[in-house]
Structure 1
Amino acid sequence: MKQKTIREVALDVLLQIEKNQAYSNLLLNQTVKKANLDPRDVGLLTEIVYGTVQRRDTLDYYLEPFIKRGKKKLDDWVRVLLRLSIYQMVYLDRVPDRAIVHEAVTIAKQRGHQGISGMVNGVLRNVRRQELRSFDEVKDDLTRLAIETSHPLWLVKRLVKQYGYDEAKQICMTNLEPPQVTVRVNRTKATIEEAIELLKEEGIDAIRGHLSNDALIIQKGNVTHTNAFQDGVITIQDESSMLVARALSPKEGMNVLDCCAAPGGKSTHLAEQMNDQGRVVALDLHDHKVNLINQLSKRLELKSVEGRAMDARLASQSFEKATFDAILVDAPCSGLGVIRRKPDIKWTKSVKDIEGIQKIQKEILTAVVPLLKTGGRFVYSTCTIDRTENEEMVQWFLENNKDFELDVSLNERLPQHISEKAVFGEGSLTILPHHFNTDGFFITALIKR
């Protein structure tokens, strides 16, 4: 059987994302494993898939004048084929336009009939010949921003309402950029300097992170293939996510609860902060996700992490009151801070989803509060930048838990230069994607009186 070309594989992946609302990152990983691709082709496949999903509405805006019958009348596969072809023509420069058109027409002939391949050929040749339409044609500011940055209009309106137009525009523009690869150095095994040297010996260029004391930014090379990674000296984690363990700041010998822990990045970071002396109980709802926590702990050679399959909302049935010295709730959320890594989030989420997840956030917070000792620290964090899931949730929590107060010492536990860009509130921190080129994140710390 003839092996599929990169663009045929990309078309299959994009159709599954569109039809089944499959997660692009998971689907792409599975596809790469199954397709047995040349490593040099994996980068191009990833770029075509992520880029086409990321810029979907902009691509449709460019396509619209060239499709006489309207894009809604096209078969799904034809519409997606045109999108991925135009994405390459507009945003990639390593493949000549004529080669892109030729391959699109070949795919159209194989999948459809002569008429469809002719139409694909005509549309793409016209796109090559003519200037793309200007965004200035769109007179409404918010609609123009939505099309130009390829975000749904409801999300643009929400960001503008919460952050103002200029900040919202920066968020949306940054969401289109590829995320940088960052790793956390396991301080129980190596210093930052030692980790940089180990990676250098294996041909990996790494520099210190901008945001976290434990972070390295990978500038060149695939770290997952290194001995440093296999031996547990480093693990992949975004810099803003690394601040959560610093915010909780557990000490050696403590009993700590991480309520929504998979895949284990923060649980293992907490264990490293404690020099692996103490106990981190890491809960997650599903067995297969708890396996991920256990696998990570094993690779990092951390003995203090104890993964358990449990719904955090039922934790009081398994633990006595005032069992834990510190508790982390890195809550399930809309994920609007990680759109760069998971571009399909912006097309699959809705206002209704945000409202639905708030209910779960409240249930988890209510359930685990009694498990914290008096004087203990409680950290609530999310990878969303939506204020109803963040500041409003904290306000709700304080109104319903009078024995808690905001921990105003939070900023003392985090690198001082963060305050130059990120937004410190009383006992809280908001990092937007453009502040440090990281995921968007929210962290708040509270003390039980």
Structure 2
Amino acid sequence: MKYTTNNPRQLAVMTLVRTSNGSYSNLQINAVIQSTSMGPADKGLFTNIVYGVIQHRLTLEYQLRPFLREPEKTETWVKELLYTAMYQLEYLDRVPKRAIFDETIKIAKQMGHDGTRRFVTGILHQMDRQGMPNLDDIQDEKTRLSIEYSVPTWLVEMLDEQLGKPKTASILASLNKAPKQSVRANLAKISQKDLLADLAKDGYDAEPSQVSSEGIIINDGQIIHSDFFTDGLLTIQDESAMLPVESMQISPDDNVLDACSAPGGKTTQIASRLKAGKVFALDIHKNKLKTVQRNATRLGVYKQVETFELDARKVDTKFEDGLFDSILVDAPCSGLGLLRRKPEIRYDKTIADINRLSEIQLQILNAVSAKVKTGGTITYSTCTIVKQENQDVIAKFISENPNFDITKTKTANHLNPDSKMVQIYPDDYDSDGFFVCSLIRKS
């Protein structure tokens, strides 16, 4: 798509209209950045506004409602424009109010007409005089938490039931923080320690991850545009997402199955440990396997990776029993541990989705269970934080497969001293929420 403007605020409104119609925010943001000539500061403001409005949508909707006489008759783009102004006023300290008002009113006229300009001007000045509605006035606590942190009520209730009020409140408060820029050192080419030293020489403010022994947090600069990324010394990956492979006991000559591989972060992490061995990477989508192959090529581990377009539930059609030394099932899930990076997930998912996904997760585990050798391990992981997709799936699998036992998931930083499984919540380390469990085949 061609854009006739480089105004980051106007582009944010246009992007928010598309995401409100079901488009993925990260794809839309990337498309706009690639199709316009915004400078770095404007790109940052544009991205901040888009993600910020999506993150705080329920809060902004609640606060705007009293100022609209006929909300159902107000055009979508006008509401999105007002949300962008409200977000900047409430959450961006460095942007002067006058600049926000002037830009918002100007966009109202450019995208609409003089009547739209008057309408938007009136609401902005009314908000300025009256102030925003006070969330503390909401009597029901779960409704208040839902609106304050902009998550659906059902999720508040589910977390409250499973984890209790203090932990739920802590998780919800963490979800709207900016995600950290996290990378994984490609052990096929360089150690974490040497990569940290090289990053420091190049002027990057970088520090080792508290979560993964392979992870590094980049505190400034866009590492994806660096030679470190181009040369395959590192890859972009959340530190929690590194734990499933870090916990696997992989030898250089092993055959490993990655049952749900795309986009390839964990596939290439497995491959970085192999020499003569191979990782067999499955995915149901052919196009996504191309991404796996591109990542493996950039990281220099393509010889250790073989891809197959295959639903993991149909492994019997391709592989014989007992073929693999270990198996990774990084299962399709609700993604509720990723709300910081993918804020629209919170509005898309339902309890029905969680129940449907937990059935698929169990089906995949059951399907691959015969493919691991006796004494071998299946590592099950998800990027979600609810028991239905994690502990409950494991309990059902063990009850249906008595030839498997849960064995302790070992992490380099000993993250689970009191449990065999690893459950990372988004507020624990300000990383993605993740679950990892190791299952050993006894016979």
Structures share fold, TM-score greater than 0.5 = yes
Q: Distance in 2 between matches of 1:22 and 1:97?
A: 30
Shift, 1:391, TM fit: 0.5
Q: Which runs of 4+ in 1 moved over 6 A?
A: none
Residue type of the alignment partner of 1:232 = G
Matches within 5 A, 1:14-53: 14-19=16-21, 21-53=22-54
Q: 1:277 to 1:206 in 2, by over 3 A?
A: farther
TM-superposition CA deviations, 1:111-147 (whole Å, max 9, x none)? 3333322121111112223332221110111111111
1:176-225 CA distance string (max 9 Å, x none): 10110111111221222321222233332211111111111101111112
> How does 1:102-113 map onto structure 2 within 5 Å?
102-113=102-113
Task: State how far apart, in whole Å, the 2-side matches of 1:135 and 1:399 are.
Answer: 46
1:371 matched to which residue of 2? 371
Identity fraction in percent? 40
* Residues in 2 aligned to 1:366 and 1:349: alpha-carbon distance in whole angstroms: 25
Structure 2: distance between partners of 1:72 and 1:398: 51
Note if contact 1:385-1:440 (Cα within 8 Å) is conserved in structure 2: yes
Shift of 1:110: 2.5
Shift of 1:310: 1.4
Q: How does 1:300-449 map to 2 (within 5 A)?
A: 300-302=299-301, 303-408=303-408, 410-411=409-410, 413-416=411-414, 418-419=415-416, 424-425=418-419, 427-449=420-442
Distance in 2 (alpha carbons) for counterparts of 1:22 and 1:296? 25
Q: Any conservation in 2 of the 1:338–1:383 contact (CA below 8 Å)?
A: yes
Aligned to 1:135: 135
Q: What is the letter of the counterpart of residue 393 of structure 1?
A: V
Quote how far apart the aligned CAs of 1:277 are: 3.7
Matching of residue 54 in structure 1 with residue 55 in structure 2: yes
Q: Which amino acid aligns with 1:267?
A: T
Question: What are the within-5 Å matches in structure 2 for residues 84-99 of structure 1?
Answer: 84-99=84-99
Deviation at 1:2, TM superposition (A): 4.5
Is the 1:215–1:239 Cα contact (8 Å) retained in structure 2?
A: yes
Cα distance in 2, alignment partners of residues 36 and 306 from structure 1: 39
Q: Is the 8 A contact 1:146 1:153 kept in 2?
A: yes
Which secondary structure does the structure 2 equivalent of 1:65 belong to?
helix
The 1:437–1:277 alpha-carbon spacing in structure 2 relative to 1, beyond 3 Å, is farther
Map of 2:169 onto structure 1 = 169
For the residue of structure 2 that corresponds to 1:99, the secondary structure is helix
Name the CA distance, whole Å, in 2 between partners of 1:327 and 1:281: 9
Q: TM-score, with normalisation over the residues of structure 2?
A: 0.96
- Matched residue type, 1:284: D
In structure 1, distance between residues paired with 2:202 and 2:226: 7
SS in 2 for 1:260: coil
Deviation at 1:241, TM superposition (A): 0.8
- Partner Cα distance (1:389, 1:350) in 2: 13
Q: How does 1:110-129 map to 2 (within 5 A)?
A: 110-129=110-129
Amino acid at match of 2:89: M
Q: 1:335 touches 1:345 (CA, 8 Å); kept in 2?
A: yes
1:355-391: CA deviations, max 9, x gaps? Answer: 2212221221121111111111011100000110000
- TM-score normalised according to structure 1 size: 0.94
Match of 1:158, as an amino acid? M
Match of 2:81 in 1: 81
Per-residue displacement from partner, 1:262-312 (whole Å, max 9, x unpaired)?
Answer: 1111111112233x3411111111121111111111111112121222111
The answer to whether the Cα contact below 8 Å between 1:204 and 1:222 also exists between their aligned partners in 2 is: no
Deviates more, 1:159-168 or 1:95-104: 95-104
Q: What CA distance in whole angstroms lies between the structure 2 residues aligned with 1:353 and 1:296? A: 30
- Aligned AA for 1:295? R
Q: Does residue 288 of structure 2 align to residue 289 of structure 1? A: yes
Q: Secondary structure at the match of 2:272?
A: helix
Mapped contact 2:5–2:11 kept (Cα < 8 A) = no
Q: Secondary structure of 2:289's match?
A: helix
| Residues in 2 aligned to 1:258 and 1:86: alpha-carbon distance in whole angstroms | 45
- Residue type of the partner of 1:415? N
The alignment covers a number of residue pairs equal to 439
SS in structure 2 of the partner of residue 337 of structure 1? helix
Residues 26-70 of structure 1 show CA distances to partners (whole Å, capped at 9, x for unaligned) of: 22112211223223211111100000000011112222222233x
For residues 169 and 312 of structure 1, the distance between their equivalents in structure 2, rounded to whole angstroms, comes to 36
Structure-2 separation of matches of 1:439 and 1:10? 25
Q: Which amino acid aligns with 1:292?
A: T
CA distance in 2, matches of 1:286, 1:396: 28
Counterpart Cα distance in 2 of 1:129 and 1:249: 62
Distance in 2 separating the partners of 1:334 and 1:44: 29
Deviation track 1:321-351 (CA, whole Å, cap 9, x = no partner) reads: 1111100000000000000000000011111
2:57 touches 2:150 (CA, 8 Å); kept in 1? Answer: yes
Match of 1:8 among 10, 16, 37: 10
Give SS of 1:220's match: coil
- Counterpart Cα distance in 2 of 1:419 and 1:380: 16
The CA RMSD over aligned residues, in Å, is 1.5
Partner of residue 232, structure 2: 232
Which SS does the other structure have where 1:125 is aligned?
Answer: helix
Aligned partners of 2:371 and 2:271: how far apart in 1? 19
Contact 2:182/2:236 (<8 A) preserved: yes
Q: Is the 8 A contact 2:6 2:37 kept in 1?
A: no
